[in-house]
Structure 1
Amino acid sequence: MNATWASMPADLPYVNFGDALSPIVVSAISGRRLRKMPFVSPESRLSGIGTIAQNFAGGTVRIWGTGLDTFTRGSNVDEAGYHLPPGTRFRVAATRGRLTKERLAALGLHAPDVYGDPGWFANKIWPEYANEEKVHDFGLVLHLTEWSERRPGASLKPGLRRYDMPPELAARVTFINPVAERSVEGVAEVVRRICQCRRILSTSLHGIVVAEAFGIPALFLGATAPFGPQNMEIAEIQTHRLDHRMADFYSVLDRETVPAFSWPRPQPLDWHRVLEWCERQAPFFHFDPRPLFDAFPYRKAVRFEDERWPVRSDLLVDGDFL
């Protein structure tokens, strides 16, 4: 089975855990081995997790839970926005959110009212993590661009003062790097660390997706300052003001605002106030993943009701997550 997903450069022995969830979930649902295909190809292939729809050209691309970036300049995005590449057939089974669907529909592509990020099914791959002991009150899942190196164990980039944590809070908070060893076990370790937290605050989209999939309340941490610590009680941010990935993800909720916190990275932050505010937020991400599962565009080897979807030991036809 052909599939395409984002990955780190081939000379790095690591992956971004959110991107790597795509082949894991797709192979588990289909029961098939995967052959990784490039974004530009004449062959038919599946697109799953990621803000990657804008990268495809050629052949037939089956979109299942994918997001679209119409802002970042690239081969199919110019000053006028995203345009459909010639010689490419898109078959849309589901989109990550309503924003992606609307942008594709504006270009004449039919897309059903089926939404969701396939990373939600991490709880079917590792159901045992739902019972993982909670050893941290908060986990901060920080985007890979905020780490000094793209490897597990890396330190944060210097100058990110908003992450200066008071010593008295250090035992309550853990920092989680989304970069994993290039293996199913490596990805599982990041998921497990998220599940060891009672709440998640994240700049990583899949830090939030995975946390919510396991029933762990998660909040987005942005990089601007529409609200200061003195206004923490009213930190409801309009979804259209969020990062476009998060706006698309939250668009499935039919909410104009979501509780989120935003603060410039170089400025120190009152973490006592932030954590108190986080603790007061009630869970709000209520999502039924069944339609997304049903929309999977290939034959399924598992049932939605199954507690665990096994991952093949020979996940890929050749190579690993390269």
Structure 2
Amino acid sequence: MSAGRLLSVLLLLQSRGRVSAQVVADELGVSVRTAYRDMARLQDAGVPVYAEPGHGGGYQLLDGYRTRLTGMSQGEARALFFAGLPGPAADLGLATEVTAARLKLLAALPAELREEAARTAEVFHLDAPAWYREPERTPHLPLFVDAVLTRRAVDVRYRRWREPREVDRRLRPYGLVLKSGVWYLVAATENRTATYRVTQVLDAVASDERFDRPEGFDLAAHWTSYLDDFQARRYTGTATVRLSPRGRGRLADNVPPELVRAVEATEKPVGDDGWVEAVIPTENTEHACGELLRLGIDVEVVAPPELRRAMADTIGVLARSYGTA
């Protein structure tokens, strides 16, 4: 068996007091039978573990016994940053290390601080993925974690939105970003530093090449700059629209926040029925048509003419499909 797991069992007993075999099994991802065997091995090793039978019973250490074996492995030290983020930690392949690191931290704390840490953990939970979307599968993410930390280049096959759809790249990973449940890799090629959606990586193999990250590179600052540039490139036009009171109230649930802010900044009343007119940014005619149709009868496109025609054509097709043209 793993000596690391035995240590984790010991630290779990030290931090929790009395625990059942089922709790040990759940915490460490083993069977209940394995948990029983681990307890027996601790006893055989001279650790004063004893069992309390009956309802509410379990295993616990003799009063006053504490271990000083709280040294952390490299993987557990890496996992500390994700100690409160079980979902992302699992994505990164650090779930086991996070559990072990948390136990070691708790074991090193005085009793009153352990109780406070436990209370805090009970009332906060992070669920990163957005609503109405399955979490993305990212089988290559642990490889990128290692590449970022060891500064090793990675050869990837990547699927992008323009032709050719699949391309081969050698990437020098600078960092990973989690945004709304989606992982992105910031990496350099021979020509530039770019952002790659990890789920679009079709294949990845670590190379023998080592690299140095540019001195002073700031991942958070780079990401903020990337988002600003993305928004500037994303919206290339504008449209004038009219919204009913109900449409105005539905904006936040149906269109991006940039459009909501644009309406707030430019809206003006039209008529006496509560409708407003505003100018919003648009990517292109097709995309804008799809976004605005979510609002149904509560929006009317005033300009530009090509977007108004696209809306009318789409509505006409829908009407014919339902036999109401």
**Which of the five TM-score ranges fits, normalised by the shorter chain?**
under 0.3
Give the greater-gyration-radius structure (CA). 2
Q: Which of 1 and 2 has higher RCO (CA within 8 Å, sep 6+)?
A: 1
**1 or 2, which has the higher helix percentage?**
2
TM-score (norm 2): 0.19
TM-score (norm 1): 0.19
